[in-house]
Amino acid sequence: MSASLGDFLRGLPDFPENLPDFDVASAPADPAALFRAWLEEAAAAGVRQPHACSLATVGAEGQPSSRMVLLKNIDADGWHFATSRTSRKGTELTANPRAALNFFWADQGRQVRVVGKVVELSAEASAADWRGRPADDGRDNPHWQLYAVLPREIEFWQGRHDRKHIRHIYRPGVQSGPPTPFPEVVSRPFPGPSCPDTGSR
């Protein structure tokens, strides 16, 4: 059964014939600006919920988990998402306030990965986010928490049919550490976790 499943998986369609180009030399210095450009291109192409992303967290015992959430905003506080503090996400973030976000737009052959420390935003901001939800019934939710990822690394990935995929990485300050094994990786520093407001979604 596993062999036939493997054949089925290998036979599934790949990326669309026409993929967007990505010239890293012309990429903006601000990763939030590049993200917004890619997000808007995905939305214009008809991607449903292009602001949806996987959120990966790790609990107190080191067990990882992931689930889908919606990006709420990007501003000087970081990359926003929200959940209940009593949920698994919330309890894991309390135990280990670090996370990774991953956005994937298959029709564009693109993904964006954001990794960093997670902080709780104010009670006022959390309440405003709760009231702004489409299903708001007028009641407050004291457990609802707005979080922000303070990025330590942001990677933009553009798929290519020749498999020479492009990885463009932003890190705060000067890059350090051993050379990357991927010759197509281009790393660029950015001035820390803050970035200009790109507006809410």
Taking the domains of the chain in order of start, what are their residue ranges?
A: 22-190
> Residue 126: helix, strand or coil by DSSP?
helix
Q: Is the pLDDT of residue 193 over 50?
A: no
Q: Is the pLDDT of residue 195 over 50?
A: no
Question: Where is average pLDDT lowest: 59-73, 143-157, 159-173?
Answer: 159-173
Q: Which CATH architecture has domain 22-190?
A: Roll (2.30)
Residue 52: CB partners within 8 Å, gap ≥ 6? 68, 69, 70, 71, 103
The better pLDDT of the pair 88, 199 is held by: 88
pLDDT tens column, 68-87: 999 999 999 999 999 999 99
What is the mean pLDDT of the segment spanning 149-171?
A: 91
